[in-house]
Amino acid sequence: MNSQNTNPFRSLQANASGLFSRILIRYESEMRCASGCASCCGAEFSIHPGEAALILEEFTGLEDSVRGSLREAWTRNRPGTCAFLVADQCTTYGSRPVICRTQGAPLCTSDEVTRTKRITACSLNFQGGESLPSNPEDWFEINRLTELQSVAEHFFEKTIGIPEALLPLLDSEKRIPLRKLRDLLTRLP
């Protein structure tokens, strides 16, 4: 089954990219996000299996020569950065996870107990006395995005299922570390 059409993370990714683009256009003079900036890519993290399935699908759909080039490029990845980052470029940009599509934009986290909101953004953005946006349409609501990801993952697991190749990669939280996913991709034929 082709998960590209049915995987709910595809819609989440498209929506996140769309909102990011609208924010970037609206705050073009305050945001430094551009190709080659990898300031937000300095972490090793894990993703939902549904998102990992999209990366796996994209990779296996590539020409053999392209897969070989990616495998070679990944040997130049710097420790402590995203496993798919090479020379400050994302090598899985088309299928990058939802979290990657939000970085750089204003992110709002809510504390349900104190009923307070905290808005943050990449330290390169909104400098020079510019304050972060106060309009909720101009930030990612992280608590809501996390809920949507959980619903998408539940749907993915119930309707599509985690690909067998990804099962050994699951950590204790049922997520897949990007470095383990990249290592799997380097071993695939």
- Dist. CA 55–CA 77, nearest whole Å: 17
2 has pLDDT over 50 = no
Q: Is the dihedral of CA 39, 80, 91, 6 positive or negative?
A: negative
Beta strands 107-111 and 89-90 are unpaired
The pLDDT value recorded for residue 166 is: 98
Beta strands 140-141 and 107-111 are parallel
* In the block, residue with structure tokens 């990669």: 169
- Dist. CA 8–CA 2, nearest whole Å: 12
Record the tokens describing residue 105, joined without a space: 């934009």
Instruction: Give the rounded percent of residues in the chain with a pLDDT score beyond 90.
Output: 72
Confidence of residue 132 (pLDDT cuts 50, 70, 90): confident
Note whether 173 and 47 are within 8 A (CB): no
Amino acid at position 111, single letter: D
The pLDDT value recorded for residue 42 is: 82
Q: Is the dihedral of CA 19, 23, 28, 30 positive or negative?
A: negative
Note whether 178 and 99 are within 8 A (CB): no
- Dist. CA 135–CA 115, nearest whole Å: 17
Q: What angle do CA 128, 134, 139 make, to 5 degrees?
A: 95
Residue-averaged pLDDT of the chain: 91
Give the distance from CA 139 to its chain's centroid. 16
Domain spans, the chain: 3-187
- pTM for the whole thing? 0.90
pLDDT tens, position by position, 24-63: 999 998 999 988 889 999 888 999 999 999 999 999 999 9
The pLDDT value recorded for residue 116 is: 87
- Reduced to 3 states, what is the DSSP secondary structure of residue 185? helix
pLDDT tens, position by position, 74-114: 999 888 899 999 999 999 999 999 999 999 999 999 888 88
Note whether 184 and 165 are within 8 A (CB): yes
